A and B are shown apart, each in its own frame.
Chain A
Amino acid sequence: MCIKKRPLSHSIGELDYDPTHLNLEVYFLPPAISADFNRNRLSVQGNHACALAAVAAGCRFYAGYPITPSSEVAEKMSEELPKVGGIFVQMEDEIASMGAVVGASMGGVKALTATSGPGFSLKQENLGYASMTETPCVIVNVMRGGPSTGMPTRPSQADVMQARWGSHGDHPIIVLTPASVDEIYMETVRAFNLSELLRVPVVLLYDEVIGHLIETIEIREPAELKLLERKWTRAPPEEYLPFAATDDGVPEMARPGDGYRTHTTGLTHGENGFPTQDPEEVDRVMRRLLSKLDRNRTIVESFELLECGDADIVIVAYGITSRAARRAVKLGREHGIKVGLFRPITLWPFPQQPFAEVAALARKVLVPEMNAGQLCLEIERLCSPPSKVSRMNRIDGEAITPIEILERVKALESND
């Protein structure tokens, strides 16, 4: 599953890193559209690409509620799912949508829902239930401006922290943040793969610009998507423990109807699935639950490096902002500034070790975001000293432009 250095992409650009310096072989890197023009291509908006990818990834259940700017995901799913024998249902509210998705997944069917900020808030309790009961599911959050109703039709990146900490309690969750329409396609597939493999809910977090942008995607052959399925147990029912740790920390799952008759509860439960308050047992099962992502970081973490090898100034950007940053890096290099880009594709868990290696070499780090400063908190935590991190924020519902980033880079360059 390791993807090494990739060739040119029309939108993603050449990846630039020195594998002898950074041990990046094991990390995911984004696939790119191949140069073979005989491949099946489509020109679609991001939200439609998400739906097409979900169906290609084997998703056969969608429950949702209309909300701008994510409604096109639901619309496309309502069209595509009946063609493949899947079920689309528009539920009475956001909460019910999330509940139905987890319910369908407990039945063994890959399930998706899509929403935006306010709806994402409403889904949080059932998202936490999926995390606690280790039920795979994929949730799309097309970010809009907030708080509250905010600016439904304007872009934002203000749900970075909600995606990580929106549900109460310590809980494992994976957040992926694609930056192009084709990447939405591939990251949607990866979201299902990671969710099934690790039994963790996966949030696909992108901004309104990417969601509504129309770009070319490549429709991959099913074999190229490397679809992963849930670890269904084959243990004898009398020996099976539904929440017992395996080598990778992920318990095997039992499908209802296969003779296991298990209990699933959001209450803190022991290996047998039944509620427990025994401190020793609770400690053990909670640490196992929370360790799943740490133990599997190499397959979860994904990022892209651009011109980071000798970079004095490293920009950390994701989503549409990373595309402005990419341009700013190119312009900066033309001005002779040693500037590079670190683009997290997996936002949570943040690819902290590879970033720390890049950041250690940089003199300054710039974090442009379309929020009042969220990911920069994590970046400051990972940089020494934290003062070398500069924030750059737009909260007016407008995307950050390459020139704006370039100006900040120039200022950082001259401000010695």
Chain B
Amino acid sequence: MTEASMHTFEIRDYLRQELMPHFMCPGCGHGIALRALLWAIYELDIDKDRLAIVSGIGCSGRVGAYIDANTMHVTHGRPLAYATGLKLARPDLEVIVITGDGDCLAIGGNHLIHACRRNLNFTCLMLNNEVYGMTGGQVSPTTTVDRFTTTTPLGNHEPGFDSCKLAAAAGAGLVGREITLQVPALKNLIKEGINHPGFAFLEIISDCTEIYGRKNQLGESPEMMLSQKASTRSDVYRNTVDQPFRPNAFETGVLARNDRAEYADNYRKHVEKTMDVLKSGD
């Protein structure tokens, strides 16, 4: 038993309390995701000094600042690029990216597929609330069809991304999804992602109650979370419930594992192997 696990998880130990109250709206799912992440960090006994949180722009991007760690709040869509540089330069750091559906799938989509392809050892948490909340509620690449946003006054006519299928196809080492209602399951999934020796992409279904929920009359946060639960299908039931019974099912849990070489490890091995050739080359 490690020293950390002998005590109970106390979220205040991992927060910058001087920044409270936080800026998140009442009912926002991002706080729950943050709690699950910090719980996972506690259970894994990760040293806060060695923890680097890289986040992008938007509501998700502002979450990182509350964590008592090395936090980098970078440019819109680019946290995966910054994290790639940071992790390559400093393999000793535990790097975790916090991003959103707009940040990661729209402006940062190119970085996502290439981060998956490289399979560098860090973890990406994508908080999916289906909307650009910080800018006032515009349509995002994951907005459900026919829902209203400030830029889809007639209802959204664009199909959304299944980000997990995208990440799995692009070669991410581990791909998973969970909803904020299932906090212990979410914590366990995040632990699995951090422990995976490669790139882990985790989609966390969050909810934007204030802007998106209100505009679409989805109810308060509890109603939104329950409807998320109703539309997901846990990995436990994956092969037992037929598609017709759950037409909009979002699968949750660990969805894909790609057993591939880790990027930095592979780079070092490759360099060692070819160093003699390089040195005699000039």
What total of chain B residues lie within 8 Å of the partner, measured CB to CB? Answer: 40
Check A28 for interface membership: any CB of B closer than 8 A. no
A79 touches B278 (CB 8 A): yes
CB distance from A258 to the nearest CB of B (A): 7
Convert B257-282 into 0s and 1s, putting 1 for each residue whose CB lies closer than 8 angstroms to a CB of A. 00000000001000100110011010
B86 touches A103 (CB 8 A): yes
- With A82-B278, A93-B110, A264-B71 in contact, do A99 and B90 touch (Cβ < 8 Å)? no
Check B28 for interface membership: any CB of A closer than 8 A. no
Which of B70, B111, B267, B275 has most A Cβ within 10 Å? B70
Check B233 for interface membership: any CB of A closer than 8 A. no
Convert B230-258 into 0s and 1s, putting 1 for each residue whose CB lies closer than 8 angstroms to a CB of A. 00000000000000000000000000000
CB distance from A249 to the nearest CB of B (A): 23
Instruction: State the main secondary structure of chain B at its contact with A.
Output: helix
B84 touches A96 (CB 8 A): yes
A256 touches B70 (CB 8 A): yes
Please, how many angstroms separate the alpha-carbon atoms of A102 and B82 in the complex? 7
**B84 nearest CB neighbor, chain A only:** A100
Which of B16, B92, B111 has most A Cβ within 10 Å? B111
A129 touches B85 (CB 8 A): no
Check B78 for interface membership: any CB of A closer than 8 A. yes
Check A345 for interface membership: any CB of B closer than 8 A. no
Please, how many angstroms separate the alpha-carbon atoms of A109 and B87 in the complex? 11
Check A12 for interface membership: any CB of B closer than 8 A. no
Please, how many angstroms separate the alpha-carbon atoms of A203 and B73 in the complex? 24
A91 touches B279 (CB 8 A): no
B83 touches A103 (CB 8 A): yes
**B270 nearest CB neighbor, chain A only:** A82
Check A380 for interface membership: any CB of B closer than 8 A. no
Within 8 A of B (CB), among A86-111: 87, 89, 91-93, 95-109, 111
Residues in chain B near residue A87, CB distance under 8 A: 88-89, 267
Interface size class of A (residues with CB under 8 A): 35 or more
A99 touches B78 (CB 8 A): yes
B75 touches A261 (CB 8 A): no
Contact partner of B278 (CB less than 8 A), chosen from A83, A98, A265, is A83
CB distance from B15 to the nearest CB of A (A): 12
A129 touches B74 (CB 8 A): yes
A265 touches B84 (CB 8 A): no
B92 touches A92 (CB 8 A): no
Residues in chain B near residue A107, CB distance under 8 A: 52, 85-86, 89-90, 93
- With A96-B110, A257-B92 in contact, do A103 and B275 touch (Cβ < 8 Å)? no
A92 touches B114 (CB 8 A): yes
Residues in chain B near residue A91, CB distance under 8 A: 81, 84, 114
Please, how many angstroms separate the alpha-carbon atoms of A109 and B48 in the complex? 21
Please, how many angstroms separate the alpha-carbon atoms of A87 and B84 in the complex? 11
Residues of B at the A interface (CB closer than 8 Å) are 16, 19, 48-50, 52, 54, 65, 68-75, 78, 80-86, 88-90, 92-93, 110-111, 113-114, 267, 271, 274-275, 278-279, 281
Given contacts A103-B81, A107-B93, 6 further A-B contacts (CB under 8 A): A92-B110, A102-B82, A107-B89, A261-B68, A263-B71, A267-B73
Provide a sorted-by-A list of 25 A–B residue pairs whose CB atoms are within 8 angstroms.
A63-B84, A89-B88, A91-B84, A92-B110, A92-B111, A92-B113, A93-B110, A99-B78, A99-B85, A101-B85, A102-B74, A102-B85, A103-B83, A103-B84, A107-B52, A107-B86, A107-B89, A107-B90, A129-B75, A256-B86, A256-B93, A259-B49, A261-B68, A261-B69, A264-B71
